[in-house]
Chain A
Amino acid sequence: MADVNAPVGARPPAGAGRFGLRDLTVEFGATRAVNKVTLEIQPGEIVGLLGHNGAGKSTIVNVASGALAWTSGQIRIDGAPIPRGSSPRSIAELGVTVIHQEPALAGNLSVLTNLFLGRRRSGALTARRQRAQAALREVGGESIPLDVPVSTLSLGQRQLVDLARGALSGEIRVLMLDEPTAALGVAETASLHALIRSYAKKDAAVVYISHRLVDILDVCQRIVVLESGEVVLDRSAAGLSLAELSQALAPGVVHQELVGTARAEEVVRVDLPGGRIDARAGEVVGLFGMAGGEQLTVLESLFGVGPKLPTWLDGQPHTPKRPGDALRRGIFMVPPDRDRDGLLADFSGKTNVMLPWLRGSKSAWWFDRRTGASIYQNSREVLNVQGPGGEVPVTTFSGGNRQKHLLARWMFPAKPRLLLLGQPTQGVDVGAKVDIVRAVRLLAADGVCVLVASSENDEIASMCDRAYVLRDGRVAPVERGPEMATALLDALLQLSGPSGDRPRPVETN
């Protein structure tokens, strides 16, 4: 272990990490996004950081780059701790560079201006141009013109500009990439990986976050898996296969036996260009696709908010204009992003569950503390909600319990005919996952038809009777079986191209 008190910039003692986290903890209100994470990365090492959404990966990157404050613990570069409350600029000057999926550049300004934005002592214009060209050359972007607006560049080029900004600060000692290839093509991904390797050769410590396991296996030497803010796996990538990796990613998923409860009547049908999706009453059907892919579009279309797809409900054409039309027909949707699209932050837990149901009931013109109290209490019991009473703001609850509130809203006050779930167990802890799966199966046993859209194969495999894999309008059915999670991934790879090309990003509109 390095000397904690060594001044910043001093050479590290032999064997010390280039980049280290020591008991790092980050809290947002009552939620612990990162819980005592300790990690040591050696110079020249490329570490793949994996985990489901909400596991804490991006939080670590944001904390280490100065965009967020941490609660306790230490972050060290070459053994020297970064003072808490350091500005992003002073951290950048220590040699920490972060590449985001969508680079944070001012699109309307030129490449040259962006390279020097927020930098002190920029120097004369000609000197600046030379330094900018040198930095772009270093990152392999010498073909990028200096005087065009950044918005005219491709995404790959913008990432290079972002990287060149880091190169301008001096030696890149720590390079962090947050989902850098999520929207890149094959060629751009390959050249980015080559660049990452060249920085590793120059003794940078690299943290590589990605959902794309193929990319992780391509470039990383070590794999660290986070689950609910804690490191659950830390091992060498050598000899790791894709299937093993996807298994390792789901340490907490409980593959329980599901009892099929499907009935004969078809509830919903969706026609896509490349196939048909249907689901019967009492059945839980998964829709699996790339992150942000068309599985969500299917849900939104059925709920009346997305693009219109040809859909049928109980054999009748279903053309909802707005959510109200879907709600009247018993179609309820749990959106994937609970805090952005689902919950009302300042509202109490109970009001968050009951609000859509006040209208049209006798409570519409008079409700008080007792309104819906028993429904709320019952749903809390079914979903095993932990936390304070129902009258405190819903933000007081932890992530998993907030998710349970959102689910409770659409599962219990009224019985759905068709329940649409977008990533229902995303970013919740293992215990909450089990509770949620149990509640969903309970509803299915009661004859509700459930569609679960997810970009995580384990989420589908943990609760669905069968699934469809969606990609560029094509549809492939996957039946339930012991290897369902792997079968889903295989099917997605097969849909991706005739030559077994690796997954390309789906265009989301």
Chain B
Amino acid sequence: MRPISMDRLKIMLVQNGVFAAMILMAALFGVLNPRFLSWQNAVTILQQVAELGVVALPVAFVVMTGQADLSVGSIATLGAVLGGLTLVGTGNAAAGVAVTLVFGLVAGALNGFLVAYLRLNSFVVTLGFLSVWGGIAMVLTNGKTLTGLPDDFKAFGTAKLVGIPVQIVVLAVVVAVAGYLLNRTAKGQEILAIGGNARAAELMGIRVQRTQMQVFIAAGVFAALAGLMLATKLAAVSPTVGSGMELKALTVVLLGGVSFAGGYGRIGGVAAGLLFVGVLNNGLVILGVSPFIQTVLVGATLVAAVLMDSSIQRFVSAAWANRGKRLAEAQRLGRERPASQQTQEVNA
């Protein structure tokens, strides 16, 4: 095994703090109510956060490029409403899904175009569309819940794949693809590069604006898909189905250690952030805590996440600088480094 220095260990610990907090919280809930720690409840938690995860992971990429997307909640809502209206009108499930995804693509492209090419502030643009799409959903449904969805469509909401609820399968696929994209492809590194130093990225030949557009489109498409997933699960389309989703997604992303300034993020962190929110919500329900308190805690979690974001960045860069300084000092003094540490430098 590769020897690990203290600095590296500290960095790993801090980066996985959310995961550790989630485990601690789950243990606490388990002590308070043993029912919490059942296999069935674990599945329930994953099922509950699946749509949120499908929304949050693409949003994580948007944040990594140094932008924000607040419109995803309403894209989910209107996507579900448009899909639902098509389904009720035509009875054709494929047509419904297609309409939803096309809407997600158009809404994401609109965000991307305004932010990347017209250089508008992403916060303002997406805040605007949060209102626009949410309002249109209300107008189209007259504020009423759509029912009468085709049965085969509703069946999807309770479907299982080799015994695993389909929502969890979708979530797993999205997490895996996101992890692969970020860690193993040029595109993922380019996305981080844009968030870290857009000018340098451009001078490397990276198509900054095009990539920015792509991440917004991905956020739009997956948000719309998540809206549809919620509709199948609930067997109805409410015109508020995705409301609040944008803030929850941002909470998850920031909890996951993605830098709000862009340029840094890990999919494992975002997944841990998602589980944290899932465990918190589920645990409070099982303990019978008032739903109003849940809202309070989600908000407090967001503040804690931003606080952690800044302190993690400070801590990690301080730890690296420390390490660099010691190595530089060692070189200055021409001191022989211990053999174990040398192997590590070579491997590092």
Residues of A in contact with B (beta carbons under 8 Å apart): 27, 29-30, 303, 305, 322-324, 326-327, 333, 335, 340-347, 351, 355-356, 358-359, 363-368, 386-393, 395-398, 409
**A322, A347, A398, A409 interface centre (most CB from chain B within 10 Å):** A347
Chain A residues, CB < 8 A from B186: 355, 358-359, 363-365, 367
| CB of B63 to closest CB in A, whole Å | 14
Q: Within the complex, which residue of B192, B201, B205, B263 is in contact with A327, where a contact is CB–CB below 8 Å? A: B205
Sort A-B residue pairs by CB-CB distance and give the 5 closest, nearest first.
A396-B324, A389-B348, A358-B186, A30-B324, A29-B321
Chain B 203-232 per-residue mask, 1 if CB under 8 angstroms from chain A, else 0: 111110000000000000000000000000
B193 contacts A305, CB within 8 Å? no
- With A340-B197, A344-B200, A389-B345 known, 18 other A-B pairs at CB within 8 A are A305-B202, A322-B205, A324-B207, A333-B203, A335-B200, A345-B196, A346-B192, A351-B189, A356-B206, A364-B185, A364-B186, A365-B186, A367-B186, A387-B327, A387-B328, A389-B346, A390-B348, A395-B324
Report which of B200, B323, B346 forms a contact with A342, defined as CB distance below 8 A.
Answer: B200
Instruction: Please determine whether B203 and A323 come into contact, CB atoms closer than 8 angstroms.
Output: yes
Q: Is B142 an interface residue (CB 8 A)?
A: no
A198 → chain B closest CB, angstroms:
43
Determine how close the nearest CB of chain B comes to the CB of A9; give it in whole angstroms: 36
Taking a contact as CB atoms under 8 Å apart, the answer to whether A346 and B264 are in contact is yes
- 29 examples of A-B residue contacts, CB within 8 angstroms: A27-B325, A29-B317, A29-B321, A305-B203, A324-B207, A340-B197, A340-B199, A340-B200, A341-B203, A344-B197, A344-B263, A345-B197, A346-B192, A346-B264, A347-B196, A355-B190, A356-B206, A358-B189, A359-B186, A364-B187, A386-B331, A387-B324, A387-B327, A392-B323, A392-B324, A392-B348, A395-B321, A396-B321, A396-B327
Does B38 sit at the interface, judged by CB under 8 A?
Answer: no
Complex formed: what's the CA distance from A351 to B206 in Å? Answer: 14
Q: Which residues of A contact B263 (CB under 8 A)?
A: 344-346
CA distance A363 to B188 in the complex (A): 12
Q: How far is the CB of B32 from chain A (nearest CB, A)?
A: 40
How many angstroms between the C-alpha atoms of A326 and B346 in the bound complex? 35
Q: Which of chain B's residues has its CB closest to A29's CB?
A: B321
**Smallest distance from the beta carbon of A405 to chain B beta carbons, Å?**
12
CA distance A333 to B207 in the complex (A): 16
Interface bracket on B = 20 to 34
Q: How far is the CA of A415 from the CA of B186 in the complex (A)?
A: 20
Determine how close the nearest CB of chain B comes to the CB of A245; give it in whole angstroms.
31
Given contacts A324-B207, A392-B323, A395-B321, contact A347 B331 (CB under 8 A): no
Is B123 close to A, CB under 8 A? no
Kindly state the separation between the CA atoms of A69 and B18 in the bound complex, as whole angstroms: 33
CA distance A420 to B346 in the complex (A): 32
Distance between Cα atoms of A365 and B199 in the complex (Å): 24
Q: How far apart are the CA atoms of A324 and B204 in the complex, in Å?
A: 8
Nearest residue (CB) in A for B207 is A324
| B203: A residues at CB distance < 8 A | 303, 305, 323, 333, 335, 341-342
CA distance A27 to B328 in the complex (A): 12
- What secondary structure prevails in chain B residues at the interface with A? helix
Q: Does B320 contact A (CB under 8 A)?
A: yes
Q: Which residues of B contact A386 (CB under 8 A)?
A: 331
Shortest CB-to-CB span from A393 to chain B, Å, is 5
Quick check: B196 and A346 within 8 Å, CB to CB? yes
Contacts of A347 in B (CB 8 A): 189, 192-193, 196
Residues of chain A with a CB closer than 8 A to B347's CB: 389
CA of A252 to CA of B161, assembled, Å: 70
Complex contacts, B206 vs chain A, CB 8 Å: 356
Contact A365 B185 (CB under 8 A): yes
Across-interface contacts of B119 in A (CB, < 8 A): none
Instruction: Indicate whether B314 reaches chain A with its CB closer than 8 angstroms.
Output: no
Q: Which residues of A contact B335 (CB under 8 A)?
A: none
In-complex Cβ contact of A388 among B185, B193, B324 (8 A): B324
Contact B196 A388 (CB under 8 A): no
A400 to B205, CA, bound (A): 24
Q: Mark B302-322, 1 if CB is under 8 A from A, else 0.
A: 000000000000000100110
Shortest Cβ gap from A25 to chain B (Å): 13
List A contacts of B327 (CB < 8 A).
30, 387-388, 396
B325 to chain A: closest residue by CB: A30
A360 — nearest CB in chain B belongs to which residue? B186
With both chains docked as a complex, state the minimum distance between the C-beta of A391 and any C-beta of chain B, in angstroms. 5
Name which residue of chain B comes closest to A303, CB basis: B203
In chain B, what residue has the closest Cβ to A333?
B203
Question: Measured between C-beta atoms, what is the minimum distance from A509 to chain B in Å?
Answer: 17
Give Cα distance in the complex from A303 to B205, angstroms. Answer: 10
**A363 and B190 alpha carbons, distance in the complex (Å):** 13
Alpha-carbon distance A323/B264, docked complex (angstroms): 24
Identify which of B193, B331, B347 gathers the most chain A CB atoms within 10 Å of its CB: B193
A396 pairs with B320, CB closer than 8 A: yes
Q: Which A residues are CB-close (under 8 A) to B192?
A: 344, 346-347
Question: Of B187, B200, B321, which is in contact with the most chain A CB atoms at under 10 Å from its CB?
Answer: B200
Task: Write out the residue numbers on chain B whose beta carbons fall within 8 Å of the beta carbon of A392.
Answer: 320, 323-324, 348
* Min CB–CB distance B22 → chain A (angstroms): 25
- Could you tell me the distance between the alpha carbons of A27 and B331 in the complex, rounded to whole angstroms? 16
Q: Whole-angstrom distance between the alpha carbons of A344 and B64 in the complex?
A: 14
Q: Considering the chains assembled together, what is the distance between the CA atoms of A393 and B264 in angstroms?
A: 12
Q: Which residue of chain A is the closest to B206 with respect to CB atoms?
A: A356
CA distance A27 to B263 in the complex (A): 25
From B187, B196, B199, B321, A30 is in contact (CB under 8 Å) with: B321
Rounded to whole Å, the gap between the CB of B7 and the closest CB of chain A is 10
What is the distance, in angstroms, from B61's C-beta to the closest C-beta of chain A?
Answer: 16
B-side contacts of A343, CB under 8 Å: 197, 200
Contacts of A388 in B (CB 8 A): 323-324, 327, 345, 348
CA–CA, A118 and B333, complex, Å: 45
Q: Which of A333, A335, A346, A396 contacts B323 (CB 8 A)?
A: A396
- Shortest C-beta distance, A386 to chain B (Å), equals 6
What distance in Å separates the Cβ of B253 from its nearest Cβ neighbour in chain A? 17
